[in-house]
Amino acid sequence: MKQIELKATGLTKTVRLIGLMVACSFALLQAAPPPSAFGVWDRTDKFDPKEYPFLKGFSFDQRWADLEKQPEVFDWSGLDKVMERAAQNNQFVYLSLSVGPDAPEWIYQHGVPKVRTKSEKEKHKGKWDGYPYYLTPEYKTYYFRLITEFGKHIRSYPKEQQERIAFIQIKTGCTGDETPYKGTAIESKYDLPRSAPAWREFRLETFDLFVKTFAGSADEPKIDLLFNAVGPVIGSDEDEVEAQEGFLKEWEWVTNHVHGSFGIKNGALSRGHHLSGERSLYDQWTPYLLDPKGLTLFRRSEMDQTWRHPWYQLNVPLGFYWGAVNALNGGQSVWDVTKSAMDACKEQGFDYSFYFFNRYAGQIYPKTATGAFCALHKGLDAADTKAYPEAEFGPAQRKNADRMLKICAAYAKYGAAVDDKNGLLLDQVRQRDTQTGYNDVGWDIWPDNYGRFLYQIDADATSIPLWRVGGPITPTSSIYSRFARGFEHASGKDAMFFKLHEGFSEGNEPKVMTVTVVWYDGTAGSTWKLDYDAGKPEMKTALTVTGKGDKRWHHEVVTLNDAVFRHGGTKGSDLALVNADDKDDIFSLIEVHRGKLEAPVLLPPTDYKVSANAPMPPKADKAGRPGKEKKSKKNLSADGEDSE
């Protein structure tokens, strides 16, 4: 990855601290759950995997109030049915207990104060009748008893059923957001901010019990745990303590007490692209998710109702595809999809993105990966002062929209544009909620190609970035039209070079590899070729393609029987796209698959229904104005996810 200079991200110190802690605490660890569990999941437990074959698993969230309606009388029938279903369907399941405001009413007649709140967001008003005061000894007694009994019951299942549990998400407060209350306590004596030391200590007590309960033994499999709100915070602007300190003490506890891998919950990457703060999120977590050398993590995200908001509804298949690509680039493991999206995915043509995500989600280590890809893209990151000097574009400040517009204008001839100026000033949660168009510039957004184990060499020096290929994006535009790269013969940019990760193709013997190239046929008679490293002094040509000018995207697939792929080509490349004339060609995606394809390449649908429903209005009561961004407790590293 090229060296960069970022301004005002506020993460340098905390990310460095995480790196030091990990280096000191961990030897090489293997990823768990098994990579076969990584991919698209049913956020409910309502969908038949025979009808939705891309589903790797489903979730089961048990409300405490339904589980223990009377003290010490537990009803495990719902959990039992779920475990039987997972075993019968050969699926994975992840479990969680909804506590806090989902606690049974009887706890309030047994010594636990009920906390009433104010100033909650509009979407949370009336959702719960109240919250327990978590710090009372009585609440801890009941809550910790619940966890203990939960563990005992899980350990009563046969080993093969226990192994169907991919992980358990720890929930200590209200929903999975790891906050005690939605809003603030009316009575100040019950005030408990998420950054409060007392809340941290309560969480760590809970962590400790979960870790001991599910650590495993010679006779019992270890069941992995997933944590939220651990590590640095990206984008928190409401709680000053949280913004400064993040959850580093929680992170330190987890890395010192959990033996083996564990999961993290953060979901912005799979719910869009060019979201504020995503670049820092990549830098923060990806080293522990893809080809990790020490600490090994897995990551869960959600697709909530974001897909029904204005920005996604501009072109739903396109939104899902680039969300999938963005998430894969950041090492996303589990994509937990909401019911409304599952209901619509086939009819509206975006289930293709789920299959694409599954193809790569489990490819963690290059030596064992069955495939690699590079999706061509450029994001204009206004926080990068090396790429965009302040002397030329203005001060690199979060709210400096003029700087962002100047940067975008420099690439306007290649299709870069800003559709929603207000969106430039929003945090990522407000972006997803209210943004109405595509923005090709942003703050702390991912700047380079997306991919896994396949990289372009000197991308900007050898090709031009392109946006909105074929004109303005409509609801029926191709998913590939959003981003691409192309030749520019006039400036001498006539070849793009790609190399695989060092560990993907080892040894100098010939190998069988299948390469797929997605390209745009924009000019009749324009010719390009695909060259590859066959272990010879000169690269070998795999195919030559001449365009018809039909203004469509095409897939070219070729199987190579003598691919060496040891960086022996031009510029140390394994593959090259080469211009064969003076006309320019455009490309969106390159994939490499080990061996021959067992089935034809799955293509994105071209005939699908465009919903006539109006986009979902913003959840919040204010739409956010330039310079007056609505504050939010949500943040990328801690959660960034909205409950459905």
Phi, psi (deg, nearest 5) at residue 269: -60, -40
Number of folded domains that form the chain: 2
Q: What percent of the chain has pLDDT over 90?
A: 77
Kind of pairing between the strands at 297-303 and 262-265: parallel
Measured distance CA(421)–CA(419) in Å, rounded: 6
Residues 320 and 390 in one domain: no
Let me know: does 39 contact 357? Beta carbons within 8 Å.
Answer: yes
Write the secondary structure of 347-358 as one string of H (helix), E (strand) and C (coil): CCCCHHHHHHHH
CATH of the domain at 424: 2.60.120.1360
| Domain boundaries, position 228 | 27-360
Residue 603 burial class via C-beta count within 10 angstroms: exposed 0-12, middle 13-18, buried 19 and up: exposed
pLDDT of residue 245: 73
Let me know: does 576 contact 570? Beta carbons within 8 Å.
Answer: yes
pLDDT of residue 138: 98
Tell whether 19 is covered by a domain. no
Mean pLDDT of the chain: 90
Tell whether 599 is covered by a domain. no
Residue with tokens 């509206």: 348
Residues 37 and 157 in one domain: yes
Q: Is the pLDDT of residue 252 over 70?
A: yes
- CA dihedral 434→440→446→449, nearest 10 degrees, is 130
Residues 151 and 223 in one domain: yes
> At 15, is the pLDDT very low, low, confident or very high (cuts 50, 70, 90)?
very low
Residue with tokens 């990549």: 282
What number is the average pLDDT over the span 136-142? 98
Close Cβ partners of 84 (under 8 Å, ≥ 6 residues apart): 161
Tell whether 374 is covered by a domain. no
What number is the average pLDDT over the span 194-223? 93
- pLDDT tens for each residue of 408-457: 999 999 999 999 999 999 988 899 999 999 999 999 999 999 999 999 99
Measured distance CA(89)–CA(67) in Å, rounded: 25
Neighbours of 52 (CB within 10 A): 16
What number is the average pLDDT over the span 278-296? 92
Burial pattern 84-95, b for ≥16 Cβ within 10 A else e, equals ebbbebebbbbb
Residues 344 and 415 in one domain: no
Q: Is the pLDDT of residue 589 over 60?
A: yes
What number is the average pLDDT over the span 352-375? 97
Residues in the chain: 644
Residues 204 and 327 in one domain: yes
pLDDT of residue 617: 85
User: Which has more pLDDT, 231 or 591?
Assistant: 591
pLDDT of residue 243: 62
pLDDT of residue 576: 98
Phi, psi (deg, nearest 5) at residue 485: -135, 155
Kind of pairing between the strands at 495-500 and 454-457: antiparallel
pLDDT of residue 192: 95
- pLDDT tens for each residue of 221-235: 999 999 999 987 654
Residues 135 and 193 in one domain: yes
User: Which has more pLDDT, 212 or 122?
Assistant: 212
Longest alpha-carbon distance in the chain: 81
- pLDDT tens for each residue of 477-529: 999 999 999 999 999 999 999 999 999 998 899 999 999 999 999 999 999 99
Residues 457 and 571 in one domain: yes
What number is the average pLDDT over the span 593-597? 96
Residues 518 and 432 in one domain: yes
Q: Is the pLDDT of residue 626 over 90?
A: no
DSSP string, 180-208: S-SSEESSGGG---TT-HHHHHHHHHHHH
CATH of the domain at 154: 3.20.20.80
